[in-house]
């Protein structure tokens, strides 16, 4: 049985985040100037923690620009494994739109009234998204017999889906800020994840 430390880290801020848009899998935007500043600041404490992992550190990321760019800024010359299943949710008809854009849209109002449980029109269901993200998380874990530290730079929705799948707790309990996320301590073998503990952190504090 192998011990793995896994860091789930949300990417830095983008213009879409600043404008509170539903920018998901279909919007491949880079970090904003504020997002670059956030990532450079977070890289100071993240770099100190990851330095102790040495050669055992692996970096994985969603292929979307905002995640890859964040990983580049957080880690010195990282070799990044890009995993498509870690991409943000497909928001369908809501993709790229803000609350103001969607105000008065009956489908959006129905989604709001459901507490976010309805599917996005033309997009992924929460169940489909959770299955995809958990599959991506298992891919990122890699060899179950290897002891190592794994940094996974992805999206807020991806983190919510993975933590929901792991814990069975409410999906929305795991909302996180840019450059925030969760640190997991796991025990794995060929049969999967046998145990894990976790704690959350924000953009300026590893917890």
Mind listing the pLDDT tens digit for each residue in 66-78?
A: 999 999 999 876 7
Mean pLDDT for 119-124 is 87
The C-alpha atoms of residue 164 and residue 29 are separated, in whole angstroms, by 26
At residue 137 the predicted structure's pLDDT band, cuts being 50, 70 and 90, is very high
Nearest to 203, CA basis, from 13, 66, 57: 13
Q: What is the pLDDT of residue 73?
A: 93
Nearest to 11, CA basis, from 42, 44, 47: 42
Is-contact 17 86, C-beta < 8 A? no
Mean pLDDT for 34-46 is 91
Q: Which of 11-15, 106-110, 139-143 has the lowest mean pLDDT?
A: 106-110
Q: What is the pLDDT of residue 207?
A: 45
Q: Which sign, positive or negative, has the C-alpha torsion 116, 120, 123, 125? A: positive
Q: How far apart are the two ends of the chain, measured CA to CA in Å?
A: 26
At residue 205 the predicted structure's pLDDT band, cuts being 50, 70 and 90, is low
The string of pLDDT tens digits covering residues 147-179 is: 999 999 999 999 999 999 999 999 999 999 999
At residue 187 the predicted structure's pLDDT band, cuts being 50, 70 and 90, is very high
Instruction: Output the average pLDDT for the chain.
Output: 91
pTM confidence score:
0.93
- Does residue 181 register a pLDDT over 80? yes
Q: What are the residues facing 182 on neighbouring strands?
A: 8, 200
H/E element, 28: none
Q: What is the pLDDT of residue 53?
A: 66
At residue 206 the predicted structure's pLDDT band, cuts being 50, 70 and 90, is very low
- Does residue 182 register a pLDDT over 50? yes
For the chain, the domains span 2-201
Q: What is the pLDDT of residue 204?
A: 57
- Does residue 24 register a pLDDT over 90? yes
| Positions marked catalytic | 11, 88
CATH architecture observed for domain 2-201: 3-Layer(aba) Sandwich (3.40)
- Does residue 55 register a pLDDT over 70? no
């Amino acid at each position: 049985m192998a011990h793995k430390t896994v860091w789930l880290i949300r990417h830095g801020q983008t213009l879409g985040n600043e404008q509170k848009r539903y920018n998901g899998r279909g919007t491949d935007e880079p970090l904003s100037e504020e997002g670059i500043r956030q990532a450079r600041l977070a890289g100071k404490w993240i770099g100190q923690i990851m330095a102790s992992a040495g050669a055992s550190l692996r970096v994985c990321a969603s292929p979307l620009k905002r995640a890859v760019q964040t990983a580049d800024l957080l880690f010195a010359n990282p070799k990044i494994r890009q995993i498509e299943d870690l991409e943000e949710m497909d928001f369908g008809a809501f993709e790229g739109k803000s609350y103001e854009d969607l105000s008065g849209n009956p489908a959006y109002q129905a989604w709001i009234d459901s507490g976010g449980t309805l599917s996005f029109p033309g997009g992924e269901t929460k169940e489909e998204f959770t299955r995809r993200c958990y599959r991506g998380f298992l891919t990122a874990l890699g060899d179950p017999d290897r002891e190592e530290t794994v940094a996974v730079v992805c999206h807020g929705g991806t983190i919510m889906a993975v933590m929901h799948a792991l814990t069975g707790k409410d999906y929305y309990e795991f909302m996180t800020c840019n450059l925030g996320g969760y640190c997991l301590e796991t025990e794995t073998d060929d049969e999967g994840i046998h145990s894990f503990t976790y704690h959350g952190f924000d953009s300026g504090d590893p917890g």
